[in-house]
């Protein structure tokens, strides 16, 4: 029996590497039948011109945002909504019951999980409390807090949010103060986090976990931290000449079974009591795995995962709409690398965008 076409609204379809754009690309790789509608608050977002029907809407921080999304849902008879940017994911989750009332499936974890994972200090405390390895993390208030640092380098980053923005490697006390004060200047609360070495063993783990495990998939990629796309920062310590690397938001790397890594990820989602997509960033030192980031959403790696055989947004939509479990199939082993592609946009293209 042929299944009906599902109408999906994807928000936040920006430029290269943005989550909304990757979600869009992933669903286009599916064999299932989708009508894709996309949105963004900027007319210069490349994803708005990628063949799908698109709308310009208000920013997530405005009072009109949810009404804009709901109006599009009614107009386009939307079945499923997926947030494609951090502010939108949070705002949509806050209004989960409103979408449920309108019989629209919101592919999202609950607000509680999103708030926990977005607060890096609380997340670290939560992981340690549950006996899960996590870098030592503490807030920076004054120079006195530097005494808590055991060794260098350390990571300086904002306490809330996710992604690779405003993340710095500090090799000494002066750099800790400089980068921390820089964040404070822009009203970002700085935290200091122990740097986990062995950047050659960094993994991104994707877990789909719904209805207490009735739906469960896992996939792991060993990240390749080479080149401008994959690397956020590289530092050579002037004293010991050791190299430290921080990854960027552009993930590329090697896919394999990685059983122990996936099993570890599956343990984490149970501890979190997640109900949706979870993405875990971690590094492995010998037999120990250290988590330094958990994103309670789809990952920017969704297209890469779809290319090797695990299309997460497609799987979750089919489960939520048709109660369909994914076919058991082995993922492809190999590398998925990213590239940038130019696109010409005319003034007429911009004029022809749908506005509410």
Per-residue pLDDT tens for 90-110?
Answer: 999 999 999 999 999 999 999
What is the per-residue pLDDT across 120-171, written as a single tens digit (0 to 9) for each?
999 999 999 999 999 999 999 998 999 999 899 999 999 997 666 788 999 9
DSSP characters over 69-122 = HHHHHHHHT-SEEE--SHHHHHHHHHTHHHHHHTT-EE----HHHHHHHHBHHH
Looking at residue 264, its pLDDT comes to 96
pLDDT above 80: residue 59: yes
User: Quick one: tokens of 341?
Assistant: 């592609």
Q: How far apart are CA 79 and CA 14, in angstroms?
A: 22
Q: How far apart are CA 257 and CA 2, in angstroms?
A: 33
Question: Over the chain, what is the mean pLDDT?
Answer: 92
What is the per-residue pLDDT across 198-207, written as a single tens digit (0 to 9) for each?
889 999 999 9
Q: At 275, is the secondary structure helix, strand, or coil?
A: coil
pTM above threshold 0.75: yes
What domains are defined for the chain? Answer: 6-107+342-355 (3.40.50.20), 120-194 (3.30.1490.20), 197-336 (3.30.470.20)
Looking at residue 163, its pLDDT comes to 62
pLDDT above 80: residue 30: yes
Specify the higher pLDDT residue, 25 or 3.
25
pLDDT above 80: residue 285: yes
Place 85 in a pLDDT band, splitting at 50, 70 and 90: very high
What is the per-residue pLDDT across 157-199, written as a single tens digit (0 to 9) for each?
999 976 667 889 999 999 999 999 999 999 999 999 999 988 8
Least confident of 81-85, 206-210, 236-240, 289-293: 236-240
Place 351 in a pLDDT band, splitting at 50, 70 and 90: confident
What is the per-residue pLDDT across 298-342, written as a single tens digit (0 to 9) for each?
999 999 999 999 999 999 999 999 999 998 888 999 999 888 778
Looking at residue 346, its pLDDT comes to 86
pLDDT above 90: residue 247: no
Cis peptide before 153 (omega within 30 of 0): yes
Contact 192, 251 (CB under 8 A): no
């Amino acid at each position: 029996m042929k299944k009906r076409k599902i109408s999906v609204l994807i928000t936040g379809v920006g430029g290269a590497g943005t989550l909304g754009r990757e979600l869009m690309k992933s669903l286009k790789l599916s064999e299932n039948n989708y009508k894709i509608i996309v949105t963004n608050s900027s007319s210069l977002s490349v994803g708005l011109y990628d063949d799908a029907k698109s709308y310009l809407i208000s920013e997530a921080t405005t009072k009109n945002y949810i009404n804009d999304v709901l109006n599009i849902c009614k107009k386009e008879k939307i079945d499923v909504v997926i947030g494609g940017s951090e502010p939108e994911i949070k705002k949509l989750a806050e209004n989960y019951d409103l979408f449920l009332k309108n019989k629209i499936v919101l592919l999202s974890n609950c607000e509680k999980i999103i708030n926990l994972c977005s607060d890096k200090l609380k997340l670290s405390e939560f992981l340690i409390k549950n006996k899960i390895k996590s870098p030592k993390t503490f807030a920076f208030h004054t120079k006195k807090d530097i005494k808590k640092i055991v060794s260098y380098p350390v990571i300086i980053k904002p306490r809330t949010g996710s992604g690779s923005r405003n993340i710095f490697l500090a090799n000494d006390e002066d750099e800790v103060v400089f980068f921390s004060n820089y964040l404070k200047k822009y009203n970002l609360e700085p935290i200091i986090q122990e740097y986990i070495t062995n950047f050659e063993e960094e993994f991104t783990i994707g877990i789909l976990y719904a209805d207490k495990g009735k739906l469960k998939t896992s996939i792991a990629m060993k990240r390749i931290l080479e080149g401008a796309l994959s690397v956020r920062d590289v530092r050579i310590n002037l004293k010991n000449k050791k190299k430290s690397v921080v990854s960027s938001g552009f993930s590329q790397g090697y896919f394999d079974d990685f059983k122990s890594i996936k099993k570890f990820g599956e343990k984490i989602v149970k501890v979190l009591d997640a109900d949706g997509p979870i993405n875990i960033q971690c590094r492995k030192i010998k037999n120990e795995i250290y988590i330094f980031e958990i994103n309670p959403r789809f990952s920017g790696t969704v297209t890469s995962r779809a290319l090797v055989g695990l299309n997460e947004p497609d799987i979750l939509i089919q489960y939520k709409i048709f109660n369909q479990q994914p076919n058991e199939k082995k993922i492809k082993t190999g590398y998925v690398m990213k590239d940038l592609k130019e696109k010409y946009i005319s003034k007429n293209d911009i004029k022809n965008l749908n506005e509410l």
